[in-house]
Amino acid sequence: MNKKNDRRGFPLRSFCMYVALSLLQPLLAVASSTTDSVHQDHRRLLQELTSAQTMATPYLVIDTRDNVVQLRDTDHRLLRSAVAATGAARRFQGREKLWKWSWKFATPSGRFSILRKVSDPLWVKPDWHFLEVGEQVPVFAEDPRRFQRGVLGRYALYFAKDLMIHGTLYEVNLGKSITHGCVRVGAEDLEYLYEHVDVGWPVYIY
């Protein structure tokens, strides 16, 4: 009786497995395509960096896949490697009365440069912060609730208007893709970068 049931059940199990694999194939194809795209971006970046024998200045490389920040000299030699936390690549959206919002929290890829360096940076809380924690968004930009010191670490290196390399209160989360777009590093690495990286140096992000 058991053998008979097994013989009848085998084709059914095979069919179920076939259906499951068929449903997974499009998802696997998308994942493979995304991985291939990342690898292509990586190759293009390396080609750009190595096309010249030397660079005009040292430069930073931010790997958002492995969550690593590297400082390299003009001959591409590694000077410093830091474990980092980068953008979560998630979307935050919702609606409240007549207001509908949508933000994508990701670290952008491409070529940037260090725009400015700040000691004891002040965090100006954006609207999405208040929405995430369930608080009312302040109407005025000068509202004291928008300003907080100490959460960004001792230094910040801006590579875009609202994006920077800064510190973190929770170094245990370094190595993860969890930020809203900025790049976080540990206190020792942040101090090193602040002291050794100059304004205008290139920043390559992939």
| Residue 142 DSSP label | T
d(CA 187, CA 78): 20
- How far is it, in rounded angstroms, from Cα 206 to Cα 86? 11
Encoding tokens for residue 121? 């940076």
pLDDT of residue 65: 93
The arithmetic mean of pLDDT across residues 173-196, rounded, is: 98
H helix intervals, 59-169: 127-132
In the block, tokens 């410093």 appear at: 80
pLDDT of residue 107: 97
Predicted confidence band of residue 50 (pLDDT cuts 50, 70, 90): low
Select the more confidently predicted residue: 35 or 168.
168
- Residue 28: predicted pLDDT: 44
Q: How confident is the model at residue 6 (pLDDT cuts 50, 70, 90)?
A: very low
**Residue 141 carries which side chain, given as an amino acid letter?**
A
Structure token pair of residue 23: 């449903």
Per the model's pLDDT, the better-predicted residue between 44 and 133 turns out to be 133
**Least confident residue range of 90-94, 110-114, 156-160:** 90-94
Cα separation values, 183 from 9, 25, 33, Å: 53, 34, 25
What's the whole-number mean pLDDT along residues 62-67? 96
Strand locations in the chain (E): 59-63, 68-72, 78-87, 90-96, 99-105, 110-113, 116-119, 122-124, 147-149, 155-158, 164-166, 177-179, 183-185, 202-205
Whether this model's pTM surpasses 0.95: no
Residues 6+ apart with CB under 8 A from 25: none
With beta carbons less than 8 A apart as the criterion, state whether 199 and 96 touch.
no
Average pLDDT over the chain, rounded to an integer: 83
| Range of weakest confidence among 15-24, 30-39, 91-100 | 15-24
In the predicted model, is pLDDT for residue 29 greater than 60? no
Distance CA 186, CA 85 (A): 9
110 — pLDDT class (breaks 50, 70, 90): very high
Rounded mean pLDDT of 76-99?
87
* Helix intervals (H) in 64-142: 127-132
